[in-house]
């Protein structure tokens, strides 16, 4: 696999076709990173047959908890790219990436859940995700992210009012959801792939 990585790196900026060819070899050997790269390349093409193959590669990587593939797969379902548009599946894939700590996926989960919410359980989970973000960023002093979280919180509270759910009750349920989850949100890339240096490129 190290040799394939070297060759992919070598051609990545010189010859896209050769780079993709080596990525496909890595993907066939089951490497999630290469499956993601191949999937991403194929879903961005115009031919539907290629997009379908791309979705297949993204799914392989996503099922190995490769968070970038999970987010891309969610976007494909959200936009109907290479697959039939399905917001439920989009939410599921964003949610899986969110549990791995992907910040953008958390915001996407909150947005999709808030849009479809019709009861306390969905709204309280959506609000719970915002609480997790706030707690994490407060510890790091992330003021700008805090401000971004306040907007979806207000939207959730507004929606709760429409369903006659008291704000205090919603927040209590959200805090219980947070406590019940085995959620670690590292707020850095959930997967930090350390590439071994390629002696051939020195």
Q: What's the rounded mean pLDDT across residues 106-117? A: 94
Higher-scoring residue by pLDDT: 144, 160: 160
Rg of the Cα atoms in the chain: 20
Most confident of 6-15, 76-85, 175-184, 192-201: 76-85
Residue 197, SS3 per DSSP: coil
d(CA 68, CA 112): 19
Task: Please determine, for residue 109, whether its predicted confidence score (pLDDT) is greater than 50.
Answer: yes
Higher pLDDT, 191 or 164: 164
Given a cut of 90, whether residue 195 has pLDDT beyond it is no
- DSSP type of residue 201: G
Tell me the pLDDT tens digit for each residue of 38-82: 999 999 998 999 999 999 999 999 999 999 999 999 999 999 999
DSSP 8-state class, residue 66:
-
Dihedral of the CA atoms 173, 176, 177, 181 (nearest 10)? 180
Q: Answer yes or no: is pLDDT of 139 > 60.
A: no
CB-based contacts of 38: which residues, under 8 Å, 6+ apart?
20, 23, 24, 27, 54, 57
Matching residue, tokens 């050769």:
18
* 25 has a pLDDT exceeding 80: yes
Average pLDDT estimate for 112-123: 94
DSSP class of 196: P
pLDDT for 1: 80
Q: At what angle do helices 143-162 and 167-180 cross, to 10 degrees?
A: 120
List of long-range contacts for 73-77, beta carbons under 8 Å, 24+ apart: 74/105, 74/108, 76/43
């Amino acid at each position: 696999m190290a040799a394939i990585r070297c060759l992919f790196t070598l051609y990545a900026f010189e010859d896209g076709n050769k780079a993709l060819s080596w990525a496909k070899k890595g993907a066939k050997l089951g490497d999630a990173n290469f499956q993601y790269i191949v999937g991403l390349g194929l879903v961005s093409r115009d031919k539907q047959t290629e997009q379908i193959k791309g979705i297949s590669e993204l799914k392989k990587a996503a099922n190995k908890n490769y968070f970038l593939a999970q987010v891309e797969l969610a976007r494909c379902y959200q936009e109907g790219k290479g697959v039939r548009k399905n917001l439920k599946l989009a939410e599921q894939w964003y949610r899986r990436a969110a549990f791995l700590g992907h910040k953008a996926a958390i915001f996407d989960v909150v947005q999709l859940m808030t849009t479809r919410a019709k009861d306390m359980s969905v709204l309280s989970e959506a609000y719970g995700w915002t609480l997790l973000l706030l707690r994490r960023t407060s510890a790091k002093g992330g003021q700008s992210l805090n401000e971004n979280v306040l907007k979806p919180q207000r939207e959730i509270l507004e929606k709760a009012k429409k369903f006659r759910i008291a704000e205090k009750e919603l927040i209590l349920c959200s805090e219980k959801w947070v406590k019940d989850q085995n959620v670690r949100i590292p707020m850095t890339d959930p997967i930090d792939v350390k590439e071994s240096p390629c002696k051939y490129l020195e």
